[in-house]
Amino acid sequence: MTTVQEVKTLTHFIGGKLIDGKSGRFGSVFNPTTGKVIAKVPLANAEETREAIEKAQVAFPQWRDTSVSKRAEIVLRFRNLITENIEELLQIICTESGKTLEDAKGEITRGLESVDLAIGAPQLMKGEYSVNVGGQINAYSAKYPLGVVAAISPFNFPIMVPLAQTSMAIAVGNAVVLKASERVPMTALYVSELWKKAGLPDGIWTVVNGDKDVVNELLENPAVQAISFVGSTPVAKYIYETGAKYGKRVTALGGGKNNMVVMPDADLEQVANAFIGAAYGAASQRCMAISTIMPVGKETADQLVEILREKIANLKVGSYTNPETDFGPVISQQSKEAIIAAINRGEAEGATVVCDGRDLDIVKESEGFFVGPTLLDNVKPGMEIYEQEIFGPARNVVRVDSLEEAIQLINRHELGNGVTIFTNDGLAARKFTTEIDVGMVGVNVPIPIPVGYHNFAGFKGSRFGEGHMFGPDQARFFTKTKTISERWMTGHTTSTFAFLSNND
């Protein structure tokens, strides 16, 4: 007998409570591994979003006036609850995103780095003080929270990115409204329960599920002071331009077309192992995934491609429930079709298919959204598969004759998120790190993503606005600084000091 899987109807989290949607519109949440619908997520309208913002606005003053040490204490309790409930979190993340358990564990670990930094908010909230800057005037600066702030997060990191966008915002005294991706809403709702258990006041953490209607209300509503966005470059550009039009502080992180440059002196076995994880982990659905490997010189390229051919052929694609799986499905059927179409166009444009992920049995026969690991050699600038971000396991080999050529190609690309070089030559590494026009740079590091206490953001079309996702810049982004100059006059008014002394 076939068992019919229950399809849950999800909610929003507003005012400290799980709230049913009112719009009558719902989106489908899939298990990418099976291709089955597992939940219906409500898609809020503008009116529902305004109501959520209003409740956050009402809750904000009390949280603003709570001591920063007390706020940090609640963030610490929240962190402990994440670690105590990690097994349940892992199941939710894997079910709605298709990630392997290893990828999901890594995501939670990186997310906790942002929480750890937020626990240190008292240090980051400190101002400055100057005595007697002139005429018995003292000057000081003080940091204050903005008010209601919003985060719009992507599907590929259901917990890491929301934690990176919101932990510091809460710790420094703001009320946060999160619009999680409608493809992976269950993780955000579970996190809402943990904030509640940690003692966060109602209204300070809000999850409004939805699509463009929610986004536009967050962008246009005057009560929302700042927007943090992570997603594709075209949407990041729209978020930045619209938010700026309405006078908001905006940081919008877009896509990446990240390169790994390989010098002839590098250990190619080590390079290949690094590339496999950096390129195909999480089904390549990471803005910091390596899209293109650039071996310098024909001999380097020929040897490296042969090593990669063998290693990629041994990768196992499947369900997260299988411990031998290296990576799982992509997020949707539409994504699967778009990736396969991009591979087809790359081949038609003259690229050589070294490893073909279109031909695996699981790709052809499973109802899940699987695409096998694909490598295309002899990819040239101008080909669509080189110019566009392919959010799936289709990776490129671009052969170059010199380090100078590699740097020029990378710097000419419209995206500048991450890049890395593998070499044992310090001069080559120094030239590369100095001349490359990319926000995050690695040397013999497969994915140059910084730890949570360093700033994270790319250049060019990979970032709009001046904020960052990780690091101390988060505290600056979510606070405003007042500078006060004060002088207390003497000899002209009756001093209250005597009265204070007599009352002691």
Question: Are residues 447 and 256 in contact, defined by beta-carbon separation less than 8 angstroms?
Answer: no
Whole-angstrom distance, CA of residue 239 vs CA of residue 241: 6
Strand 459-460 to strand 205-207: parallel, antiparallel, or no bridges (unpaired)?
unpaired
pLDDT digits (tens, 9 = 90+) for 286-307: 988 999 999 999 999 999 999 9
User: Going from the N-terminus, what domains does the chain have, and what CATH number goes with each?
Assistant: 8-254+472-484 (3.40.605.10), 258-443 (3.40.309.10)
Whole-angstrom distance, CA of residue 176 vs CA of residue 14: 11
Mean pLDDT rounded to a whole number for the chain: 93
Q: Which of 55, 53, 253, 232 has its CA nearest to residue 149?
A: 53
The pLDDT of residue 259: 96
Strand arrangement of the beta sheet that strand 394-397 belongs to: 352-355, 374-377, 394-397, 290-295, 258-262, 418-422, 440-443
Direct distance between the N- and C-terminal alpha carbons of the chain, in angstroms, rounded to an integer: 84
Contacts (Cβ under 8 Å, ≥6 apart) of 57:
147, 148, 175, 223
Question: Per the residue annotation, which of 164, 204, 287, 436 is the catalytic one?
Answer: 287
Which three-class secondary structure state does DSSP give residue 32? coil
Helices (H), 379-469: 384-387, 403-412, 426-435
The residue-averaged pLDDT of 201-218 equals 98
Q: Give me the residues paired with residue 421 across strands.
A: 261, 443
pLDDT digits (tens, 9 = 90+) for 10-69: 999 999 999 999 999 999 999 999 999 999 999 999 999 999 999 999 999 999 999 999
* Tokens of residue 126, six digits: 């400190």
Which three-class secondary structure state does DSSP give residue 43? coil
Active site residue 94: no
- Sign of dihedral through CA atoms 360, 364, 367, 372? positive
Look-up of token digits 């101390």: 472
Q: Which of 196, 192, 249 has its CA nearest to residue 219?
A: 249
